[in-house]
């Protein structure tokens, strides 16, 4: 059974949704059926993710070949955010797999940092891993180019930068700052200016520069 990115994304959305239903009084009673349904769907999604795990710790997905560390990190993060213990065999297996993968893709390295950050009981041991991944993101950041063409930021790392990749990479570097990694202030400024260039006249943002 392969895990779908939609399933993993659903879990990530359901966790805050469950918390958001904690309304007092009549509102809480009205939302109780919805909360119970969310918990049921979340449990089903977690079970689906578990069944997709392979013996080597990775998770089956059509994207696994290209993004082995990314898929596994994202699944690990979804499980952890759903209350699965960091000591659970599924998490330990996934962690071992992720740590064996070299940094290759921007998405994968960013999700790796997020997953390692979520492992609260392993923070001291994983600081070096987080810093190394953050250094890779800093190295692949494109600090030179024409902002009007959307050339500043991150690609896959190949290809044209887009807001999806930049959001994940920037958030990962934000997390890495907690562990002492310092992404140059000048690069943060350039990134902010570039992101603003993505905004359209109607106030929305395109996936690429000048996308509707």
pLDDT one-digit tens code per residue, 30-83:
667 777 888 888 899 999 999 999 999 999 999 999 999 999 999 999 999 999
What pLDDT, on a 0 to 100 scale, did the predictor assign at position 22?
53
| Percentage of the residues of the chain whose pLDDT score is greater than 70 | 83
Between 160 and 71, name the one with better pLDDT.
71
Residue 88: which pLDDT band, with cuts at 50, 70 and 90?
A: very high
What pLDDT, on a 0 to 100 scale, did the predictor assign at position 98?
97
d(CA 212, CA 209): 9
What pLDDT, on a 0 to 100 scale, did the predictor assign at position 33?
77
d(CA 112, CA 181): 15
Angle at the Cα of 48 from the Cα atoms of 47 and 52, rounded to 5 degrees: 115
For 24, residues 6+ apart whose C-beta sits below 8 A from its C-beta are none
Mean pLDDT of the chain, nearest integer: 87
């Amino acid at each position: 059974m392969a895990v779908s990115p939609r399933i993993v994304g659903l879990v990530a959305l359901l966790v805050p949704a469950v918390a958001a239903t904690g309304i007092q009084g009549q509102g809480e009673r009205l939302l109780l059926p919805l909360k119970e349904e969310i918990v049921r769907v979340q449990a089903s999604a977690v079970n689906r993710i578990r069944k997709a795990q392979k013996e080597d710790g990775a998770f089956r997905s059509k994207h696994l070949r290209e993004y082995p560390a990314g898929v596994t990190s994202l699944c690990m993060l979804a499980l952890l955010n759903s209350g699965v213990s960091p000591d659970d065999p599924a998490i330990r297996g996934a962690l071992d797999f992720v740590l064996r993968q070299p940094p290759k893709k921007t998405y994968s390295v960013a999700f790796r940092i997020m997953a390692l950050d979520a492992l609260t009981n392993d923070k001291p041991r994983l600081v070096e891993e987080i810093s190394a991944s953050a250094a890779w993101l800093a190295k692949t950041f494109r600090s030179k180019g024409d902002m009007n063409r959307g050339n500043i930021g991150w690609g896959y790392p190949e290809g044209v930068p887009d807001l999806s990749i930049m959001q994940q990479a920037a958030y990962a570097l934000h997390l890495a700052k907690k562990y002492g990694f310092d992404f140059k202030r000048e690069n943060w400024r350039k990134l902010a200016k570039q992101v603003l260039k993505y905004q359209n006249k109607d106030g929305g943002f395109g996936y690429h520069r000048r996308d509707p």
